[in-house]
Structure 1
Amino acid sequence: MTKAKPKIRGYVLPFLFLFLATGQLFAGEIGYVDSRACMLSHPVFQKFDWESRRFFSTISAPVKDFAKESIHLNKLEETATAALKGIEKKIGKAFSDKDGQNAGLWKSRAQLVNELEYIRQRREVLINLQDDENMLPDQALVWCTLEGVEKDLANVYTQIKQQHKVDILMDFAALAPTQHPPEPQMHILCDRRLEAFLDDEKSLNSEEFTAWLANSRHYWQRKLPGVCNNPFKYGAKDYTDVACAIIKSASDIKTADRGEEKIEK
């Protein structure tokens, strides 16, 4: 028994060394890429329908009961319309009383207007799906493939911008599909981390940051399953510039807008 203990220790120590070394290498890779190791367990994928390749709780989400969905939209519309009328009355009263503290009322009004616009667009989706007698969006429909996914992604980016959650930006950016994501250049990813760019505001305007962001996006696209790499028949816009803009805005950095230079695949 006394001789067995040194042998056990001899096996345990190399095992612990290999375990720690492997963990450090993995953590280093994820740290350099600066995104989530368990990306597929991210909450956004819990709202993703793999059969229809659409997001639940979005404008173009799949529908299984048109009547129930229509009733739900009617109730939402009634509630939002009534709330909007009440807010507008309060805004009018604030102006008549010369009360300058009505910024919160205007913010609430904007949210209600956006909700009513969502309901209107959602009804358009239901009409398209009912006309074709499809319970799920058809991939051959341009609206559900190109325009629909762009609106979904725009909503996701808006949420990130509002909540300033820069740490999950790359997870959502990887959802923007391209037909053939190029091989990422790992030396660009490993040179600097996202925190290094954020600490130096001027570096966010550099070509180095643009290259890092593009390669990080391509890295995750190659790790995702094929359904996320190119899930939509007609392709979609490249949202790399949008991701850059959100990082800058979240860091309160003002830069020139590239305007119409976005590339459409």
Structure 2
Amino acid sequence: MNALADISPAALRQQIRRGEFTGNTSGVAPGFVQCNIVILPSLWAADFLRFCQANPRPCPLIACSAAPGDTALPKLGAMDIRTDVSSYRVFRDGALINECDNITELWTDDLVTFALGCSFSFEEALLEAGLDVRNVSERVNVPMYRSNIPCETAGPFAGDMVVSMRPFLPADAIRAIQVCSRFPAVHGAPLHFGDPAAIGIENIAAPDYGDLVSIHEGEVPLFWACGVTPQVALEKAAPPLAITHSPGCMLVTDLRNAELAVL
């Protein structure tokens, strides 16, 4: 991953398109916004848009298709959404049926793409503040958990939030909250810190997505709203087809993180 720390987003997307990069994108192309992806048939798009609008913490909308069938998101850079994410998840009737690195054969002129803000964007600001972002320093995917924090319902889309976790000493946790509050477009401040059971997480050593990270003596876990939340909503809504990124495998865009900061 270090070898890709200075790669441009456009060059990274080309490597992904050619199958030369297949991993998670945490710490890659620092300075640039990374996005969660949800792709749905057009009949489902309006309700999902309302779900995002009703739940801006886990589903901060950055961009969406100008029209069904568009494979580009010009606001985010020159790209082909069918090939430029390192790993996709494919859902049929709410059930995960496959993970793949290319969705060209699944594409139709009826599909609409949503790009949602990702916590990887605020990790850069945490690092610049001198904080140890554990999943970055240990070179693993961030741990993510299903919580019992309910989302607002919109049409068929409902469910509880997924949260990502990063541990900090109490003084550093206060600083992390201050830093992330400046980035509401990429989940903002944590939703919870401390006791995982208070938000329905029974075993912090067993993430539902991503990888386990070390929690050192004296540290407390901080939990942020996570862009994997729509995958839970998709399971409940059960559209005939839905495509998302695989957790940790984001669309890396040309949009700079600094453009999203609230000063």
The structure whose residues are more often helix, as a share, is 1
The structure whose residues are more often strand, as a share, is 2
TM-score by length of 1: 0.22
Higher RCO structure, 1 or 2 (CA under 8 Å, sep 6+): 2
TM-score by length of 2: 0.22
For the pair shown, the structure with the greater C-alpha radius of gyration is 1
